[in-house]
Amino acid sequence: MYICSVESVPNTIVLFEGQKLNLKIAKGLSLNFTKDYDTMLTSSSIGDEVPNKVGTSNLNLNLFGKITLKEVNVNVIPKTTVIPLGNAIGMKLYTKGVLVVGMSQINTDSNEKIKPYENCGIEEGDTIIAINGSSIENTEQLIEEVNKSNGESITIKYKRNNETLETSITPVKSEEEYKIGLWVRDAAAGVGTATFYEPSTNMFITLGHGITDIDTGKIVEISNGELITANIISIVKGEKGKPGEIKGTIDSGYTIGNIQNNTIFGVYGNVTNTQYLNLNKSNEVEVANRDEIKEGEAEIICQLDNNGTKIYKIEIEKIYLNNSENNKSMLIKITDNELIEKTGGIIQGMSGSPIIQNGKFIGAVTNVLVNDPTQGYAVFGDILIKQIRSVD
């Protein structure tokens, strides 16, 4: 249920097909869809609307039916079923262009110390996508283009927060090569937990949060990637003020699928080899509406050794029904003594562990509270489905 004062109305509402909008509004306010009103709603009173058509629409919150106070995007997605996973998996991500992760001065052949990048405007976290009009997809291409300059100024096109910018740098010679003083990276890799497989779309999603660059802390913008099998090496138990960790390796992994996107809600793509996910059709469950989720007992599925997944008990302590903006939709607590004994609670690498309540998939583990590793956050299942369906 969304309790509706102007300030509390979310910018985006995600609903499954047939789910009640259920906005309780204050006196003097009214609701109106700006398009497809007749087809988007069944006949019912304000506060009990049922969008009955998959798609998107805009909902206006009006004062006295005349003054628009807020516009809300309503995304209606089809009901679906998923197979919860919990497997430890590996990921390799390849960036769009090369990510700038640092800067350093260059010692030239004449023993000078120069910063070629100085005043060029490029910052850590920016992505270089072209030099002198030639696309840059990896570090080798960047090195080649810089060396082709022979010390002449080069034009660099780069991106920052979805904005494309342009600048120039004059490379300097050092040890038989021309350099511009920028440290770059074109790939990222890691181990995490697979959340679910959706049979109707042949898609997967993992982590419940995005993969960020270790140096810049920003979400890595990718061109493509691979989901691969992983082996667990050890478990580092979490303590207050010191998060634990699942340590794993992907060196000899087999490809499970292709990664299509890396978002704040997780990494997703399509499955190309289901045998490595150990799918069991009997485990297929419905994705719950967020208003079906209740405070109280639930379960998570995760893998802590190479013998497979196990089910552990948790408690859902608080539910943030209005949340569609980040991956902190529920406050959860680990209550399973076996899991606490093994890990201390939620540890790095458990993000993405699917949560089941009353036989339905309701979300995934996303974060741990550093001061209490038995507590953390989880993201709603409907948000994850929205990522896969790309309903904007």
Instruction: Assign 40 to helix, strand or coil.
Output: helix
Q: What is the pLDDT of residue 47?
A: 46
pLDDT-derived band at 389 (thresholds 50, 70, 90) equals confident
Closest CA to 128 of 109, 152, 101, 106: 101
Judge whether residue 4 has pLDDT over 60.
no
Catalytic positions, written as ranges: 209, 336, 351
pTM of the model: 0.79
pLDDT > 80? residue 34:
no
pLDDT digits (tens, 9 = 90+) for 302-357: 999 999 999 999 999 999 987 878 899 999 999 999 999 999 999 999 999 999 99
Question: Where does the pLDDT of residue 42 fall: very low under 50, low under 70, confident under 90, or very high at 90 and above?
Answer: very low
What are the φ and ψ backbone dihedral angles of 78, each rounded to 5 degrees?
Answer: -70, 150
The DSSP output letter for 290 is: G
Among all chains, which residue has been given the structure tokens 């700038």?
100
Nearest Cα neighbor of 208 from 358, 387, 369 is 387
3-state helix, strand, coil in the chain (%, to 5): 10, 50, 40
pLDDT, position 41 = 40
Average pLDDT, the chain: 85
> Which pLDDT score is estimated for 32?
62
Can you tell me the mean pLDDT for 43-54?
50
Share of the chain above pLDDT 70, in %: 85
Question: What pLDDT score does 25 carry?
Answer: 60
* 61 confidence band (pLDDT: 50, 70, 90): low
Residue type, 322: N
DSSP 253: P
Q: Is 372 left (phi over 0), alpha (psi -120 to 50) or beta?
A: beta
Q: Give the lowest-confidence range in 11-20, 133-142, 247-256, 262-271.
A: 11-20
User: Whole-angstrom Cα distance, residue 173 to residue 177?
Assistant: 5
Q: What integer pLDDT is reported at residue 7 of this predicted model?
A: 61
β-partners of residue 356 are 299, 361
Residue among 277, 257, 290, 278 at smallest CA distance from 357:
290
**Residues making up the chain, counted from first to last:** 392
Per the CB < 8 A criterion, the answer to whether 346 and 238 are in contact is yes
Is the pLDDT confidence value at 49 over 60? Answer: no
Q: What are the distances in angstroms from CA 30 to CA 85, 226, 374?
A: 43, 48, 43
Domains present along the chain, CATH in parentheses: 2-77 (2.60.40.1380), 105-180 (2.30.42.10), 286-389 (2.40.10.10)
Which tens digits make up the pLDDT trace of 62-98?
Answer: 666 666 767 777 777 788 999 999 999 999 888 888 9
Task: Round to whole Å and give the CA distance between 82 and 104.
Answer: 48
- Return the residue matching tokens 């997605």: 77
pLDDT for res 278: 78
Dist CA 92 CA 267 (whole Å): 11
Whether pLDDT at 217 is above 60: yes
- Which range among 2-6, 159-163, 288-292 shows the weakest confidence by mean pLDDT? 2-6
